[in-house]
Structure 1
């Protein structure tokens, strides 16, 4: 599941070694995409600081890579102090050229699974009223989410993890970690002077 090809790219869990790729992805977002993601206008300095805070112990991030470049990300983070059994928030960003290809759906499926496996009592996913694409994505997961009256905030349906969801995430994480380490080794090796 984790490394299935999606329009020429792969989705995998991100690790601290992926920080530069995540930061560069955020910096490539156009003005409107930035506004849709953060619900406010943000500059490059904000995005750099934001990316640097995104790899804490309670953060789960998946990235969509095409030819070694991250083009989309799905984030899950705790709303309060603890991601286990508490409220969590989901957020997404996909670069313009890679939208409407199923990338958001694939990222969302991993975020919902991660929230379920952490026994989240609520998964919040807010979007602007004009962000019709994000609302459509959320509605694809109506079996897992219930919407509040404004239809802009989803709340997780209380369901515990199953052996299949826990094992699936474990296997995906192991594969993703190995891939991230290989990517890091390749980047470091490419920086070495050639004799």
Structure 2
């Protein structure tokens, strides 16, 4: 489950981007350092309140030992975003819970959608039928992303909580945006051809009314 591409950068020429699952023990510091880099607002959104560094260090260590799957988004070897798939045994309703964090430097670049898609694929591979997601009521970006992937959120005690039915997730592993773009391009070409021939017929007299 790797996603790799390169993009121009004024500083280094290219940026190496990868999405893959972290090994739980050896790569613990990568998740921890990513969470510690979150700015105050991002940290508040991720943990539904401001949490100090010691809490984040304990949290990352817990993820490394409780079976949580971490799908990380890398830029030049540094984790800039993460999707967490927590095992159902930790949830009071026996549903695996998911969580996301994206650093401000890579927001609005589709990172959340890439991570969400990869996480859903991993959840399906594990045989999960549904997922639970909880986010802060003020985290509009996360709520919009969850809605995009079919979550039905309800508000309670300052949080948005919902579930995602994986049986209704029909999006393929490949990026759907590329498929949509191709379809839109085909439609545009068809419309152009229709308009072109209609114009030619009118110019030749075939399109005139009696």
Q: TM over 0.5, yes or no?
A: yes
**Count of residues paired in the alignment:** 159
Superposed, 1:51-130 pairs within 5 Å as 51-56=60-65, 58-80=67-89, 86-130=94-138
In 1, Cα distance between equivalents of 2:115 and 2:123: 12
SS of structure 2 residue aligned to 1:52:
helix
Question: Please, what is the CA RMSD of the aligned residues?
Answer: 2.8
* 2:34 matches 1:29: no
SS of structure 1 residue aligned to 2:27:
helix
CA change 1:78–1:41 in 2 (3 A) is same
Contact 2:149–2:164 under 8 Å retained in 1: no
Match of 1:48 among 48, 57, 81: 57
In the alignment, what sits opposite 2:202?
A: none
Report the TM-score, using the length of structure 2 for normalisation: 0.67
Q: Which structure 2 segments of 5+ residues have no match?
A: 8-14, 175-210
In 2, Cα distance between equivalents of 1:68 and 1:109: 21
SS of structure 2 residue aligned to 1:73:
strand
Of 19-28 and 6-15, more deviation after overlay is shown by: 6-15
Superposed, 1:150-169 pairs within 5 Å as 150=155, 152-159=160-167
Report how far residue 131 of structure 1 moved: 1.0
SS of structure 2 residue aligned to 1:12:
strand
**Greater share of strand residues, 1 or 2?**
2
In 2, Cα distance between equivalents of 1:148 and 1:98: 25
Report how far residue 5 of structure 1 moved: 2.1
Contact 2:71–2:115 under 8 Å retained in 1: yes
Contact 1:73–1:93 under 8 Å retained in 2: yes
Contact 2:36–2:53 under 8 Å retained in 1: yes
In 2, Cα distance between equivalents of 1:49 and 1:57: 12
Contact 2:131–2:166 under 8 Å retained in 1: no
In 1, Cα distance between equivalents of 2:42 and 2:120: 22
Report the TM-score, using the length of structure 1 for normalisation: 0.71
Question: Runs of 4+ in structure 1 displaced over 4 angstroms?
Answer: none
In the alignment, what sits opposite 2:21?
A: 13
SS of structure 2 residue aligned to 1:17:
coil
Q: Which structure 1 segments of 5+ residues have no match?
A: 169-195
